[in-house]
Structure 1
Amino acid sequence: MHNIKIVLIQTFHPGNIGAAARAMKNMGLSNLVLVNPVDFPSDEATSRAGQATDVLENATVVSSLEEAVQDCQLVIGTSARDRTITLPALTSQQCGEKLVAEQQSGKVAVIFGRERMGLHNSDLKQCHFQLNIDANPEYPVLNISQAIQIVCYEVFKAGQKQYEPQIEAYPLNDDLNRFYDHLESSLTGSGFIKPSHPGQAIEHLRALFKRARPTSKELQILRGMLSSFDKE
């Protein structure tokens, strides 16, 4: 299941990177992506990884989340907090099943945020769904390595099932971001969005299209529609 990426953003403690690698290998995963890790490579990460040092050695290090997920057709962000503009929510079991089902046709990713503050709102803009791991409501925030272990376990369980091949192709995250830029440009050009007071219209529209999840063909139609409006 190399098409499933485990993405860690700005991990502060190298031991958590090693623990993530171990959790991944325990459950048959190997594609680890690190966004601006504070301390990596690290002896502590290697020590905590146990027999999963190969996952660390093959980890991809990138400078931005956009780069980490630009080639993915599905991106799921983990967060214990609801946001003003919400994404469709998944349980850990639903997350595992969706990742396994869609990795048959393209790359997918699940994102884990910074140890102290989790994912920023700007990070969630790159996501299609938000993962909420059930926990004690009085203290629902898990250690990052614990959260990764839970998700990897759900992926392992889901991997034992048979899934129908996906017929419709979904666009890559990079294609979606270009569509959102085009949409904002068209709405600004038409006067619908005022540059001096943009408000949150584009954020609500992004949320709408994330819920709808247009296929690659549908996204082409939407881009063509915007281009025709731009010519008027």
Structure 2
Amino acid sequence: MKNVRIVLVETSHGGNIGAVARAMKNMCLEDLVLVNPRQFMTDECVARASGADDILHEAQVCRSLDEAVADCSLVVGASARLRTVAWPQVDPRECAALVVPRARQGRVALVFGRERTGLTNAELERCQYLVHIPSNPDYSSLNLAMAVQVLSYELMMQDPQGSAEQASPESSPTTAGDMQGLFGHLEQALEDIGFLDPRKSDKLMRRLKRLFYRAEPDLDEIRILRGILSAAQGRKSARRDS
């Protein structure tokens, strides 16, 4: 559980951050990262933490989601509603089954969006999976701390001695930063070789991101892929020079 990070994006109310800290401490979570909070460490924040002040004091504040998850090998975004963007979706129990084995290998993140609007489509593209908490379709709104409590409870209940496959000691797990580096390099390479149509670039890149997230390349495989991209770019430049 020490490798599970809770990330809150642009939280509006300090009291919600305090309530999240309390929910985290209930379930043995301690790594809290805040992305551009509107309020933090207000009187209400401390009061609603109800003794989880240590989590508040040790919380990191970041300027971007990329910074918050750069060292995480798995990133799961929480959403109060199902999105039109096609992305792999899981329920809370399935989410825990994904997160717990990966947390044995390295840092993972559960990302929660703004109280009113949630995560943007661009932020969802930083996530390998989207987790949706089923609820009453006529009243589906969950408080931020409630959502954190539901997901962290499922993590707590996941059998730590389960039979989930362990990563090979020969492989190096990738982080979100490694994946974003690959995506940026891939987009640039596709532009350089004339493959990318500017009118369809967003849709194409979204599909390619989904492909690589499903494949879950390790660090050595990412280096190989980026080497191939660099070689393709070099040959294109050579043809231009000649």
TM-score normalised by L of structure 1:
0.94
What pairs up with 1:22-41 in 2 under 5 angstroms?
A: 22-41=22-41
- Partner Cα separation in structure 2 for residue 199 and residue 7 of structure 1: 25
Partner of residue 185, structure 2:
182
SS of 1:37's partner is: coil
Q: Select the structure of larger CA radius of gyration.
A: 2
- Partner Cα separation in structure 1 for residue 19 and residue 80 of structure 2: 20
**CA contact under 8 A between 1:76 and 1:127: conserved in structure 2?**
yes
Letter of the 1:71 partner, please give it.
Answer: D
Letter of the 1:100 partner, please give it.
Answer: V
Q: How many residues align?
A: 232
* 1:131 partnered with 2:131: yes
The change in CA–CA distance for 1:150 and 1:196 in structure 2 (over 3 A counts) is closer
**CA contact under 8 A between 1:85 and 1:203: conserved in structure 2?**
no
- Partner Cα separation in structure 2 for residue 39 and residue 199 of structure 1: 33
**CA contact under 8 A between 1:4 and 1:103: conserved in structure 2?**
yes
Partner of residue 117, structure 2:
117
Partner of residue 97, structure 1:
97
* 1:192 partnered with 2:195: yes
- Partner Cα separation in structure 2 for residue 121 and residue 199 of structure 1: 11
In terms of mean alpha carbon deviation, does 42-51 or 166-175 score higher? 166-175
1:155-200 superposed Cα distances (whole Å, 9 cap, x missing partner): 1111544455332433111111110011101111111113466352
- Partner Cα separation in structure 1 for residue 226 and residue 85 of structure 2: 24
1:211-230 superposed Cα distances (whole Å, 9 cap, x missing partner): 22222222222112212211
Letter of the 1:207 partner, please give it.
Answer: R
**CA contact under 8 A between 1:9 and 1:114: conserved in structure 2?**
yes
The change in CA–CA distance for 1:82 and 1:190 in structure 2 (over 3 A counts) is farther
In terms of mean alpha carbon deviation, does 93-102 or 58-67 score higher? 93-102
Partner of residue 19, structure 1:
19
- Partner Cα separation in structure 1 for residue 200 and residue 100 of structure 2: 42
**CA contact under 8 A between 2:18 and 2:49: conserved in structure 1?**
yes
In terms of mean alpha carbon deviation, does 194-203 or 135-144 score higher? 194-203
Letter of the 1:118 partner, please give it.
Answer: G
Partner of residue 238, structure 2:
none
Question: Unaligned regions of 5+ residues in structure 2, if any?
Answer: 236-242
Partner of residue 48, structure 1:
48
> C-alpha displacement at 1:31, in angstroms?
0.4
1:57-84 superposed Cα distances (whole Å, 9 cap, x missing partner): 1111111111000010000000133334
**CA contact under 8 A between 2:82 and 2:132: conserved in structure 1?**
no
> C-alpha displacement at 1:97, in angstroms?
2.4
**CA contact under 8 A between 1:91 and 1:131: conserved in structure 2?**
yes
> C-alpha displacement at 1:90, in angstroms?
1.3
Identity %: 43
TM-score normalised by L of structure 2:
0.90
- Partner Cα separation in structure 1 for residue 207 and residue 85 of structure 2: 7
> C-alpha displacement at 1:88, in angstroms?
1.1
SS of 2:73's partner is: strand
SS of 1:77's partner is: strand
Letter of the 2:192 partner, please give it.
Answer: G
Letter of the 2:167 partner, please give it.
Answer: Q
In terms of mean alpha carbon deviation, does 53-62 or 78-87 score higher? 78-87
What pairs up with 1:164-175 in 2 under 5 angstroms?
A: 165-167=166-168, 168-175=171-178
Question: Unaligned regions of 5+ residues in structure 1, if any?
Answer: none
The change in CA–CA distance for 1:187 and 1:96 in structure 2 (over 3 A counts) is same
In terms of mean alpha carbon deviation, does 131-140 or 45-54 score higher? 131-140
**CA contact under 8 A between 2:100 and 2:160: conserved in structure 1?**
no
